[in-house]
Amino acid sequence: MYQPTSSGNGGASQSNGYHLQGEGHVTGRRGSRGRSRDSSSRVFQQQDKERPPAPCTDFDSAYFHSYAHLGIHEEMIKDRARTETYRNAIFQHQDRIAGKVVVDVGCGTGILSIFCAQAGAKRVYAVDASDIAIQANEVVKANNLSDTIIVLHGRVEDVDIDDKVDVIVSEWMGYMLLYESMLGSVITARDRWLKPGGLILPSYATLYMAPVSHPDRYSDSVDFWRNVYGIDMSAMMPLAKQCAFEEPSVETISGENVLTWPHVVKHVDCYSTTVHELESVSTKFKFKSMMRAPFNGFAFWFDVEFGGAPTYPSNNNAPPEFVETVDNHVTDTSQRKKRPNPSEALVLSTAPEDPATHWQQTLIYLYDPLEVEQDQLIEGSVKLSQSKENPRFMNIHLEYESGGRSFVKESVMR
């Protein structure tokens, strides 16, 4: 999907380590720890010598470069569910932001940084590894916010700031929530800069999956070849299946396509999740079909919740563990953390029954549909892991069985 970057809403890695000045010119040198500012803007880049960051790979460079394209940011900003929920969340937590220091991880055009400034933030560090940071700096100046917002052109792993921060805001979610691995940069920012008791927006995220029926998609992509202008081209069908269904598909479905109640694949607590924990996510599932229909594949979607910071008893700072109950709800088994009342927290959902977003839903199609009866079980497991070739890619390993037949489906989201 088009997401904010892993340390920036995109970007060319060649920009990492450089200072931006008022007119967007490149000055300074790589790795400089000095702060460079002019009278019209506050933009600087530093490197943390105490904790050398992981090197920026060619894959990172290509990823960051993709986010220099304005069309990506236009699509995200025009996603009203996304942008308005972030704005509402920022102002809902205005009492935690006013007079405080904020870092915006993957600032893109700077719109979330500006929302934070409008909410009264004392200082906002807007970090982005993409060249879009140059335009973000111009947007900041055009809105007379250069005294409040400092644009940092570089990776979160590379830049340094003088302050500890009170708030982290970031639009880090990728397709299937974890694609693009940008959450790792939010975790890096959290561990480097966030004060104890600080606020992270969004605070929690949950990835769901469910079996779906979508015969129209199968008909359009595969059955089409049975009769083409009166010609039997069914010999093309095996290739058509491979081309259409080998890789995950990002598209919009409706609640009517979903065959069962959803299953929680992963709950993410942004206050305690580690980078290592995100390298591989796996879960077992058991679904019961609510209807008789073709079973065409699995859909994935996510919610994020803009709640307050968790509170831990003073005698136990360990984060809680979350497990899935039989009804697929996430439960805090340790009872150590007190989450805000969910009814009071803003939620941005990409579920099929909710207003469409630019994330849509991600579908893993079966090569051949299965007919399932009402109450028929569909069970198995799914593993999502970062690709060893490129950690921003996601390997998907699905094992499932239904009606006495077992299958394995492997695909890569790239």
- Residues 258, 260, 265, 266, CA torsion sign: positive
Which residue in 396, 7, 397 sits closest to 188, CA to CA? 7
CB contact burial 36-50 (16+ within 10 A = b; e otherwise): beeeebbbbbbbeee
Among the listed residues 180, 321, 379, 399, the single catalytic one is 180
Among the listed residues 23, 50, 171, 373, the single catalytic one is 171
Dist. CA 170–CA 337, nearest whole Å: 23
- 222 with 241: CB under 8 angstroms? yes
Peptide bond into 53 cis (omega under 30): no
Residue 231: other Cβ atoms inside 10 A: 9
The reply to whether 171 belongs to the active site is yes
Dist. CA 205–CA 245, nearest whole Å: 27
Which residue in 235, 13, 51 sits closest to 131, CA to CA? 13
Residue 243: other Cβ atoms inside 10 A: 12
Q: Which two tokens stand for residue 40?
A: 């019209």
**SS3 category, 192:** helix
Which residue in 171, 173, 107 sits closest to 135, CA to CA? 107
**SS3 category, 243:** helix
**SS3 category, 386:** strand
DSSP state letter for 98: T
- 154 with 45: CB under 8 angstroms? yes
Which residue in 82, 219, 103, 180 sits closest to 390, CA to CA? 180
Pairing of strands 204-212, 293-306: antiparallel
Peptide bond into 55 cis (omega under 30): no
For the annotated catalytic residues, the residue numbers are: 171, 180
